[in-house]
Each structure stands twice: as structure tokens, then as C-alpha cells.
């Protein structure tokens, strides 16, 4: 197996007396989708926030391309090419697609926003992901459907050469057809060479697109499996704690 793009070793995080992450290991590989599953309160969100630099971990080692790095601010995470697409999307509905995709990293020339370059890069990024559901990059996000918004959020994450994209429940609020669209987008995203970490409750989705699945249970990473070597029942067992894993990374 090649070197993981990102590797967490024995990561810990607690809020006051509550230990949320109790020594978690996680790996994600370029071009692969790593699903992160676990029941509510297992620590998925905390793990994501740590990776995003929003809520730094208390302890543990973060390796990026085999180099130890620190992730204490969103800027550091972004500098390493780590992008998060949050469950609630974090888009500004009053802005259009281009403005959202470039939010916080606008192209500026001569002191003013260079709308032309931003427009071109935004539509190129959408095209590279074979997005066909958006008619104009200048549509306001408020006029988009849930699937389209998810598309914009994902496109935003890969705009600036992302190495790791973390998707938090990308299909949670979507209908059947839109779920299908987003999942194929996730696959294309990974095929373009990005390491994708997919957080999901929906094991059908996970088995459809993921290459690996890692299961969190009450702050412990109880299993890290190749999707080919496992099945739905096993993963459900790990999630609910009725089954324990005896292998590496346990």
C-alpha cells in the first residue's frame, strides 16, 4: 500500500470532562474514498473539525504525505489542501455560485475583484467534475436545489487543488436522483486523484462509492476495512458495538 495522504495516529480530543476522541487512527489515500461511519456521538464531527483546523486536537500525530504537520487553524488546513464540505453546506444563499466558490479566497487584481478569472475557474471546475445540473455560474445559491447546492459545495472544495476533501453527510437531505448525482460526483472527485473522506450514515451509499470504511465507536476507531472484504452486517455490528474487530488498527 502506498503512503497515505493524511494519517492520524492516536488522536485525542476532550471537552472538559468528556473524552470524545480516545486515541483514533485514520488513513486516507489519494484517489480513494474512505468512508467514516459511526453512530451519533461516536466522534465523527469532532474528528472532522480537528482535520479542518476548526477545533484542534488535544493530542496525537497528524502526518501529511508522511510529514508531521500541525492543524490548528482553518488556514493551516487549507494550506495543506484539506477542504471540508459540511453537512449544512456553509454556503451564502445571498451570493451566487462563483462568489461562494471563491469566498475567502477571491481573485483580486488592481485592488478590485477580478470577476472574469473567478468566473472562468468556477465554470472550469464544475465542468471538470462533469456537472450538468447547473445552467449558469451566476445563479444565486438561494435558487438552487439541495443537490445543486451540494454540487457547488463540493466544487468549491476542489477549486484550489485540494488534496483531501472531507464530505460530511453529503446525501443526508437529498432525494433519490440527487443522491445518485452526488455519489457519482464523489466518485469522479476521487478518480481525479483527491483523497476523499466520506462521512455517512447511509451504508448503501458507503458500499456504493467507498474503497475503505473506518468505523468509530464511542471515540475509538474500532475497525478499518477494505470494502471488498466486508459486508453490511459486519459494519453495522461495528457501529453498534455488537461486534469487535480483531485486526490491525483496532
Partner 1 sequence: MTSTPATPPPTIGSGHEGNLGDQFRAYFRNLRSGEMGALPALAGFVILVILFSVLSSSFFSPLNFANLLTQAATLMMLAMALVFVILLGEIDLSAGVTSGVTASIVVVLIHNAGVNWIVALVIALVVGAAIGTFIGFFVAKVGIPSFVVTLGLFLGFQGLQLIIIGSGGAYRVETPELVAIMNSNLPIWLGWALFVLAMVIATAIAFFDRNRRTRAGVPNRPLSLLALRLGAIAAAGALFIALMSLDRAASRGSLNGVPIAHDAIEGVPIVVPIAVGILWIGTFILDRTRYGRHLYAVGGNPEAARRAGIKIGAVRIIAFITCSSLAMVSGVFDASRIGVVTAASGGQIVLSGVAAAVVGGVSLFGGRGRLIHAAIGALVIAVIANGLGLLGLPAGANFLVTGGVLILAATIDAVSRKRAGGSLLRT
Positions touching partner 1 (CB under 8 A) are 52, 54, 74-75, 78, 84, 86, 88-95, 98-100, 103-106, 108-117, 119-120, 123-124, 126-127, 131, 134-138, 140, 143
The three cell numbers of residue 37 are 461511519
Handedness of CA 211, 12, 153, 236 (dihedral sign): positive
What count of other Cβ atoms lies within 10 Å of the Cβ of residue 240?
Answer: 12
Among candidate residues 98, 133, 104, 136, the one with its CA nearest the CA of residue 116: 98
Among candidate residues 54, 49, 45, 84, the one with its CA nearest the CA of residue 165: 84
**24 or 131, CB closer to partner 1?**
131
**12 or 120, CB closer to partner 1?**
120
Cβ partners under 8 Å of residue 84, min gap 6:
48, 51, 52, 77, 157, 165, 166, 168
**95 or 236, CB closer to partner 1?**
95
Closest approach of partner 1 to the CB of residue 181, in Å: 15
Closest approach of partner 1 to the CB of residue 49, in Å: 10
Closest approach of partner 1 to the CB of residue 221, in Å: 25
Closest approach of partner 1 to the CB of residue 204, in Å: 27
Handedness of CA 172, 175, 176, 178 (dihedral sign): negative
Closest approach of partner 1 to the CB of residue 122, in Å: 8
**63 or 188, CB closer to partner 1?**
188
Amino acid at each position: 500500500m502506498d503512503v497515505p495522504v493524511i494519517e492520524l495516529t492516536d488522536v485525542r480530543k476532550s471537552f472538559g470532562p468528556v473524552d470524545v476522541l480516545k486515541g483514533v487512527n485514520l488513513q486516507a489515500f489519494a484517489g480513494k474514498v474512505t468512508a467514516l461511519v459511526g453512530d451519533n456521538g461516536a466522534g465523527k464531527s469532532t474528528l472532522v473539525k480537528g482535520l479542518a483546523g476548526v477545533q484542534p486536537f488535544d493530542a496525537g500525530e497528524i502526518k501529511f504525505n508522511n510529514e508531521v504537520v500541525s492543524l490548528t487553524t482553518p488556514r493551516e488546513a487549507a494550506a495543506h489542501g484539506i477542504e471540508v464540505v459540511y453537512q449544512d453546506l456553509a454556503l451564502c444563499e445571498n451570493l451566487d455560485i462563483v462568489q461562494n466558490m471563491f469566498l475567502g479566497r477571491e481573485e483580486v487584481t488592481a485592488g478590485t475583484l477580478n470577476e472574469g478569472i473567478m468566473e472562468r475557474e468556477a465554470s472550469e471546475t464544475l465542468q471538470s467534475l462533469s456537472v450538468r445540473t447547473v445552467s449558469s455560474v451566476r445563479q444565486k445559491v438561494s435558487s438552487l436545489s439541495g443537490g445543486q447546492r451540494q454540487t457547488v459545495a463540493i466544487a468549491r472544495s476542489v477549486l484550489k487543488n485540494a488534496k483531501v476533501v472531507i464530505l460530511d453527510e453529503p446525501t443526508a437531505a437529498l432525494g433519490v436522483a440527487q443522491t445518485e448525482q452526488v455519489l457519482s460526483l464523489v466518485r469522479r472527485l476521487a478518480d481525479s486523484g483527491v483523497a476523499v473522506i466520506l462521512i455517512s450514515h447511509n451504508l448503501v451509499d458507503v458500499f456504493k462509492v467507498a474503497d475503505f470504511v473506518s468505523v468509530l465507536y464511542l471515540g475509538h476507531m474500532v475497525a478499518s476495512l477494505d470494502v471488498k472484504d466486508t459486508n453490511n452486517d459486519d459494519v453495522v455490528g461495528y457501529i453498534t458495538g455488537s461486534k469487535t474487530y480483531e485486526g490491525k488498527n483496532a
